[in-house]
Amino acid sequence: MRNRLELDKILFMPEILQGQIDCRLSCKFMGKTYNLPVGIAPVGMSGAIWPGAEKILARCGARNTIPYCLSTVACALPEDVGPIAGHMGWFQLYVPDNPEIRRSIIGRARNSGFDKLVVTVDVPADSRRERQRRSQMTYPPRLDLPMLASMVSRPRWCLQVLREGMPTMRLAESYLDRRQKSGNLFRHAGRVIRGCPDWNTIAAIRQEWDGHLLVKGITRPQDAVRLVGMGIDGLWVSNHSGRQFEAGPASIEIIGKIRNAVGSQFPIAFDSGVAGGLDVMRALAMGADLVFLGRAFHYAVAALEGAGAEHLVYILDADIRANMAQIGARTLDELEYRLISKA
Ligand SMILES: Cc1cc2nc3c(=O)[nH]c(=O)nc-3n(C[C@H](O)[C@H](O)[C@H](O)COP(=O)(O)O)c2cc1C
């Protein structure tokens, strides 16, 4: 909620009489040119929201030349998604404590064609997520009466599950032995895959991954500066949409400070609370180079499968163009000069 409140505080001053405005929305980020300053954020278990969602979103990224970031805890394997995402594929890593498993996952991501590795650091422990508990959502889905009633009312979802298989954390499962597979699969899988990384872990990953390396979940400018000093190639400012910790600052409140701390040229991605083209413009104006949306793309796929994701890209493109015209901006670089005040 704080993300929304703080995004709404960011205002632009319209500049009048600018004539016909044809905006240029493509952007360069870490050696690639993207058609829009927008990407699809990693979401674990996307395939539970809509079976096959990972492949649908990877296809959407490739078709529209925008990045798609596959989660470590996706329902699809990097080997199946990487070739679909093509040059638009990024891989998000939750760091396992076991360095052999870590190196194996990194190798599999590289061999599957992902050229950017995103290490998520804002999940140091499980969070309780009271709303999720109240909704009685469980992994794996518990086949009790409310769940069965919900399934009956969604026959297309059920059919799709028959095609794609039950949603599970496939990558994590591939590291479980038979004994673990027969117990509580999700608890074991979660433990195998998500460890407690520290600064030394980041230094080790820097040695193990020779492609572009980003760290996701940055809030403190001091941490950003330290990461830059360690040879990280890009930062991803995010508060995980407040899912992990409710009393932290909104990401949009702190991106300006992080931008100031690392300088104007250092690549910064952003997410948390972005709900449309105007929010994308707000984040860019405050210092982001590329803005990711997680939930929005998943709502779109849940509603209309692949057509939903395509339609969201269309809406974002049209919304950014329309709003840039209102303030007389032709390029993304001009946005910060239209801000009424910069925190
Ligand atoms: C259901 C759900 C699952 C998520 N899973 C992951 C994940 O596996 N890895 C990760 O780095 N971030 C994960 N995130 C965080 C998103 O990548 C993103 O940072 C966050 O949702 C903010 O973007 P949004 O406000 O556009 O949704 C998840 C978010 C949601 C809502």
pLDDT at residue number 75 = 96
For residue 238 and ligand 1, the question of a CB distance below 6 A is answered with yes
In angstroms, the Cα distances linking 87 to 104, 154, 293 are 21, 34, 19
CA pair distance 289, 214, nearest whole angstrom? 13
pLDDT at residue number 170 = 93
For the chain, which residues score pLDDT lower than 70?
A: 139-140, 178-189, 342-343
Probe ligand 1: pick from 70, 237, 243, 252, max atoms within 8 Å of CB?
A: 243
What is the three-class DSSP state of 40?
strand
pLDDT at residue number 87 = 97
Distance (angstroms) between ligand 1 centre and the Cα of 246 equals 15
pLDDT at residue number 125 = 85
Q: What is the largest CA-CA distance in the chain?
A: 70
For ligand 1, atom 2, name the residue with the nearest CA: 43
> Which pLDDT tens digit goes with each residue over 12-64?
999 999 999 999 999 999 999 999 999 999 999 999 999 999 999 999 999 99
Class of domain 2-338: alpha beta
pLDDT at residue number 185 = 62
**Ligand 1, closest atom to CA 292?**
26
Distance (angstroms) between ligand 1 centre and the Cα of 155 equals 27
Global confidence as pTM: 0.96
Instruction: Give the containing element (helix H, strand E) for 292.
Output: strand 290-293
> Which pLDDT tens digit goes with each residue over 140-181?
677 888 888 888 899 999 999 999 998 999 999 999 876 666
pLDDT at residue number 303 = 96
Find, among 200, 236, 252, 221, the residue nearest to 92 by Cα.
236
**Ligand 1, closest atom to CA 72?**
8
pLDDT at residue number 126 = 81
pLDDT at residue number 188 = 62
pLDDT at residue number 132 = 77
pLDDT at residue number 134 = 81
Distance (angstroms) between ligand 1 centre and the Cα of 9 equals 23
pLDDT at residue number 86 = 97
Catalytic residue list contains 240: yes
pLDDT at residue number 193 = 78
